[in-house]
Amino acid sequence: MQPDSWSDWDVRNRCVSVSLVVLLVAGALATPAAAAPSMYLSNANVQESTVLVGENATVTARVKNLGDESGGFTFEFKRNGSEFASQRVVVAADESVRVSQTVAFSSPGTYRISVNDRQAGLVDVQRATAAVQSTDDVQRTVEVRAGSVPTNEPYTLDFPDAANRSFAVETWTVQTGEASYTQQIVEYTDPAAATVAVPSGRSATVASVFTVDSTADVERATVRFSLNRSRLRAVGLEQSEVTVYHRNGSAWEPLETEIVEERVSSVVYEATATDFSTFAVGRIEPEFTVEDTSLGTSQVESGQRLVLEAVVRNNGSVAGDYEGAMVVDGERVNETTVSIPAESERTLRLSHDVDSAGTYEIALNDEDAGSIVITEGQVADDTSAATDTESTDSQSTPGETPATGDGPDIPLPAGVPATVMGIDTVYLAGGIGVALVVFFGLVLVLRRGGGGNDSGGFDQL
């Protein structure tokens, strides 16, 4: 066959025709594609980076429809690669939809959260957390939240680092009967900023204060804290003098405090408490004053007893033991110890026996209490009385005539009547005299009445 011979005009016409056909076919194919929905997962994130066991974390995600027609989209929420929830939404053309989904955790650990194939974030799940709520130059507030702590043993929390603070709690070990609770610990680097009155004056040196507020009934808690050496120098405390005191009403009670670590710039202490409110860190001592003294004497077998009574007051904010010594003529002769609560007073009594006359100077410790004069008569009378009392046990009562006549006559003191068988001797002698007069008078009468009659009268009598 002879091939056709095309002119240039025919070639151009045929090329234009083919091009139109191609454009028509491409347009027909492109029209349905442009009209379909086109979904794009724009973002996915988890709002909380740290939660407690049993608490929820919130996951959010957004999808945008880039197409010209509405369509459906399914959000698949995954935890460590395993789907835990899904949501189906319809998205209009050129619109976006945002969804949220919560997820809970039953055990501690680190979990990877994703939506479809997009990473949302990591969640650290803990039994308890401690986070700083507020801070400034004089205070720092740390909130402790527990979600699944043991109820029969202590649980220790590390506090956030507190660099460049003169006082900071580092660890907090708590034992309660509750698995979940909230506590707020406020650290005061300046004691004057505390909301309670802090002991001051010559008997108290406080370096810092912290308070504890809890929703749970705390059975026992151990606090470990650091105190800068510069702060110790500023308040004039040696590191061995630091004690933690718990506020109980208006008084402060010392807690057993020990040094657990010595660092270059700070000292770390530890103390355990069973009651919780406000705690002071430093040194608080009792402050004793003698309010009143009185002196007296009393008779004793060996002579005289010197008695010293004193009212002692504790003006300090902490209870203490007052050691009182009775000093007689410069010599400590007796001493006692009495425990006096804070802002209270007690009376103590001391005594000392003497057996000789003289003037005795009395003091309570270094405070002069006065003098007592003992006379010879006081000592002699006491000795005589004691001797007489002892002699009556083996001899007759003083003033009585001895029952036997063998011994020497015992003179009676003037004005003390003698008695025989309980009868006054004066009356007894008078009665005998009267009886004798009556007897002899009767004899005379009988003799005269008988005359010369030898057979009657007295002879007959």
Domains of the chain: 39-122 (2.60.40.10), 128-284 (2.60.220.50), 288-378 (2.60.40.10), 418-461 (no CATH)
Give dist(CA 130, CA 120) in Å, integer.
24
Q: What is the DSSP string of 136-190?
A: -SSEEEEEEEESS--SSS-EEEEPPP-TT-SEEEEEEEEEES-S-EEEEEEEESS
Give Dmax (Cα) for the chain. 238
pLDDT at residue 11 in the model: 52
Give dist(CA 264, CA 270) in Å, integer.
18
Is the CB of residue 91 less than 8 Å from the CB of residue 39?
Answer: yes
**CB neighbours (10 Å) of residue 189?**
22
pLDDT at residue 399 in the model: 38
pLDDT, tens only, 82-97 = 999 999 999 999 999 9
C-alpha distances in angstroms, 243 versus 100, 189, 262? 52, 16, 16
* Paired tokens of 207: 């370096």
Percentage of residues in the chain having pLDDT higher than 70: 75
pLDDT at residue 17 in the model: 60
Report the pLDDT averaged over residues 245-253: 93
pLDDT at residue 8 in the model: 62
Closest among 129, 127, 126, 124 to 111, alpha carbons compared: 124
pLDDT at residue 345 in the model: 96
C-alpha distances in angstroms, 7 versus 4, 10, 13, 328? 10, 5, 10, 151
pLDDT at 27 over 70: no
* Paired tokens of 457: 């009268």
pLDDT, tens only, 372-412 = 999 998 887 544 444 333 333 333 333 333 333 343 444 44
More confident residue, 461 or 188: 188
C-alpha distances in angstroms, 170 versus 130, 144, 225, 349, 382? 11, 13, 5, 49, 71
Q: Beta partners for 223?
A: 172, 271
pLDDT at 68 over 70: yes
pLDDT at 226 over 80: yes
Is the CB of residue 252 less than 8 Å from the CB of residue 314?
Answer: no
- DSSP alpha helices (H): ranges in 187-263? 229-235
Residue 343 dihedral angles phi and psi, to the nearest 5°: 55, 45
pLDDT at 207 over 50: yes
pLDDT, tens only, 322-366 = 999 999 999 999 999 999 999 999 999 999 999 999 999 999 999
pLDDT at 208 over 50: yes
Residues shown for the chain: 461
Closest among 67, 190, 69, 71 to 137, alpha carbons compared: 190
pLDDT at residue 249 in the model: 87
Give dist(CA 177, CA 219) in Å, integer.
8
pLDDT at residue 454 in the model: 46
More confident residue, 293 or 437: 293
* Paired tokens of 259: 């040094």
For residue 307, the one-letter residue type is V
pLDDT at residue 377 in the model: 85
End-to-end Cα separation, the chain, in angstroms:
223
Give dist(CA 421, CA 428) in Å, integer.
11
Closest among 338, 292, 291 to 315, alpha carbons compared: 291
Is the CB of residue 225 less than 8 Å from the CB of residue 209?
Answer: no
Between 4-13, 216-225, 227-236, 341-350, the lowest mean confidence (pLDDT) is in: 4-13
Is the CB of residue 172 less than 8 Å from the CB of residue 130?
Answer: yes
pLDDT at residue 288 in the model: 96
3-state helix, strand, coil in the chain (%, to 5): 20, 50, 30
306 sits in which H/E element: strand 303-314
pLDDT at residue 65 in the model: 93
Give dist(CA 418, CA 2) in Å, integer.
194
Instruction: Assign 31 a pLDDT band (cuts: 50, 70, 90).
Output: very low
Between 167-181, 250-264, 271-285, 395-409, the lowest mean confidence (pLDDT) is in: 395-409
**DSSP count for the chain of H helices, then E strands:** 5, 29
Q: Beta partners for 285?
A: none
* Paired tokens of 123: 């969640």
